[in-house]
Amino acid sequence: MFRKLLLSVLVLVLAMGTIWLAGCTGSPAGSAENGGQTVSSNPENSGHGERNHEVVEPTGEGLFVYAGAGIRPPLDELGDIYKARTGTQVDFSYKGSGCLLADMSIAKIGDLYIPGELFYMEQANERGYIEESKIVSGMSTVIIVQPGNPKNIKSIKDLAKSGLRLGFGDFEAVAAGKLAKEAMVKAGVFEAAQKNLTQSALNVVELGNAVKLGHIDAAIVWDATAALFDSHEVEIVPIEPQYSVYSPIPIGILTFSEKKPEAKKFLDFLSTDEAGEIFQKHGYSLPETVEPAE
């Protein structure tokens, strides 16, 4: 009974947290504006975010995972494989990594955390939330533009041109936004590009859809996010190596998990060569040798 009560509290936090938690203000979770969602592993939920708003209450029977929205495609597939082999359902709550950290800070429930950037795992570790962690994959920043590149954006420095409509992840709450800012600061164009900011997203996939639909001219997203879209939907402009930012993808077992042995099994599964191949299939890179602090 107490477990069911805690699960109900978690669902309420996930549904309402982005309204009032710092860095996650905006429309209610599950709206088109912020992309918050809690979903069971299901291949039909993959894609460009069309089903981002489906909400599934954690069953209490399987694992509950806080996961960055930009990592959804491989995690959906890996969750299904894991369930087929072990019988354990994996429920994912997909949001911006900072929003998820705020959610778990309030709920103090769940089993694993998979943010899109090491910074958020380090924050969770400093708060005493992480029992054990590993790097399982990685991704890098790229620019996406409309097909044919009508605004002639050839490099990150071109984002400083006046009159552009740009989109970035929220600089505080979303890993892709935080590292987009880092890339622009390195290139010396952050202040100028900010003047062109048209869309600030709490879900990086929203930016791909916005470019695809012509709502913005360009966005900085993950290379793996760009891989979700066909060449007739968006065009990729690489960021010069000296400015592009690589982000390791860590996974950590939460200290307040009541299913640590099963969480450990899932962490180990995501660390296998088989899982690495699935990450690569979806446009992610193999992990580098950086490990999160314990």
Tokens of 30: 């599950």
Residue 69 located in a structural domain:
yes
Residue 105 located in a structural domain:
yes
Residue 292 located in a structural domain:
no
What's the total number of domains in the chain?
2
Task: Match 């299904």 to its residue by tokens.
Answer: 80
Residues 88, 70, single domain; the answer is: yes
Residue 17 is predicted with a pLDDT of 42
Coil, strand or helix: which one is 204? helix
The parent domain of residue 202 ranges over 139-237
Strands 90-95 and 63-68: parallel
Residue 69 is predicted with a pLDDT of 86
Residue 143 is predicted with a pLDDT of 98
Distance CA 279, CA 160 (A): 33
Residue 232 is predicted with a pLDDT of 95
Residues 18, 126, single domain; the answer is: yes
Residues 199, 259, single domain; the answer is: no
Residue 151 is predicted with a pLDDT of 97
Strands 218-222 and 197-201: unpaired
Tokens of 80: 């299904």
8 Å CB contact between 282 and 48:
no
Provide the CATH number for the domain around residue 25: 3.40.190.10
Residue 104 located in a structural domain:
yes
The sign one gets for the Cα dihedral 215, 220, 222, 227 is: positive
Tokens of 229: 């879209």
Residues 151, 133, single domain; the answer is: no
Residues 45, 178, single domain; the answer is: no
List the chain residues with pLDDT less than 70.
1-60, 288-294
DSSP string, 176-204: HHHHHHHHHHHHT-HHHHHTTEEEEESSH
Residues 110, 35, single domain; the answer is: yes
Residues 133, 163, single domain; the answer is: no
Residues 72, 191, single domain; the answer is: no
Task: Match 């982005």 to its residue by tokens.
Answer: 18
Distance CA 246, CA 192 (A): 23
Residues 8, 59, single domain; the answer is: yes
Residue 121 is predicted with a pLDDT of 96
Residue 175 is predicted with a pLDDT of 87
Residues 12, 62, single domain; the answer is: yes
Distance CA 226, CA 233 (A): 10
Length of the chain: 294
Question: Interhelix angle for 118-126 vs 175-187, to 10°?
Answer: 120
Residues 25, 118, single domain; the answer is: yes
Residue 287 located in a structural domain:
no
Q: How far apart are the first and last CA of the chain?
A: 33
Residue 244 located in a structural domain:
no
Coil, strand or helix: which one is 6? helix
Residue 116 located in a structural domain:
yes
pTM: 0.72
Residues 162, 132, single domain; the answer is: no
User: Which of 40, 37, 32 lies closest to 17, judged by CA?
Assistant: 37
Residue 108 located in a structural domain:
yes
